[in-house]
Structure 1
Amino acid sequence: MNTQPAANDPTMDLQQAADFLHLGLKSMKELVDSGAVPALSLNQKHTILLRDDLIAYVREQGRAQAARRRSRKPIDAPPTRAKRSTSKPNLDAYERTGGDR
């Protein structure tokens, strides 16, 4: 069965929409059932989606993901160093005696 929509057809069935979004049929049904993608259910076997609605969904999700990526701290930022908990030893007496001799 050919799941490719006609080039000038603005509508798709669930399988065509799933193929368009590179999803499985079950995932496509979940998007429709959750209301994330608008669709018209004609009956239990036939659901119609508009190509423009799928494109709008991809744009919206892509922009949201890009915004989340931009808001993250850069990965290559240097790690912050912990402050030293003890003070450096006083080596004055050691240096006056000549050290290791």
Structure 2
Amino acid sequence: MQTPKDETLGLDGAATLLRLGHEAMKDLIDRGEVPAVRLNQKHTVMLREDLIEFLRSEGRRQAAERKKSAIGTRPAANTPGSLPTRRASKSRRTELPDLRAHEQADHQS
């Protein structure tokens, strides 16, 4: 059974739970992305369930972004020709440019 202390985390405990550094955790709190209560200048307390909810919502948001960006970049799996194709290489110049017009202009001036 969880004790009340297990339901709350300080800054270091929250950073450990989210696998962040101390400063990164403080930045999340300062930006208001993670709910926290500052009891005084030295003590900040967060609910474990709020941190877990932050992970859930941020994970869903990022997954939706990845899915959205992937939709336009690949064909649907059930379409003909949906096998991976090689990227077309950039065409390389095989002939030298004709510089005669430039040479004539240089001699006339």
TM band (smaller chain) = 0.5 to 0.7
Instruction: State the partner residue of 1:32.
Output: 29
1:36 is paired with a residue whose SS is: coil
- Partner of 1:44, secondary structure, is coil
Query: Which residue among 54, 58, 72 is the counterpart of 1:57?
Result: 54
More divergent stretch after superposition (67-76 vs 47-56): 67-76
TM-score by length of 2: 0.61
The SS at the match of 1:31 is helix
CA positional deviation for 1:69: 1.0
Distance 1:59 1:43 in 2: 29
Between 54-63 and 70-79, the greater mean CA deviation after superposition: 70-79
Q: What's the CA shift for 1:79?
A: 7.7
- In structure 2, the residue corresponding to 1:38 is in which secondary structure? coil
Q: What CA deviation, in whole Å up to 9, does each residue of 1:11-40 have, x standing for no partner?
A: 000000000000000000000111000000
Residue in structure 2 matched with residue 22 of structure 1 by the alignment = 19
Aligned Cα root-mean-square deviation (Å): 2.2
Greater share of residues in helix: 2
SS of the equivalent of 2:35 reads coil
2:38 corresponds to which residue?
A: 41
The percent of aligned pairs where both chains have the same amino acid is 45
Instruction: Say which one has the larger Rg.
Output: 1
Task: Tell me the TM-score normalised to structure 1 length.
Answer: 0.66
* Counterpart secondary structure, 2:70: coil
Kindly provide the amino acid, as one letter, of the partner of residue 33 in structure 1. Answer: D
Pairing of 1:74-93 with structure 2 (within 5 A): 77=75, 78=85
- How far is 1:52 from its partner? 0.3
Shift of 1:72: 1.5
- Structure 1, unmatched stretches of 5+, are 1-6, 82-101
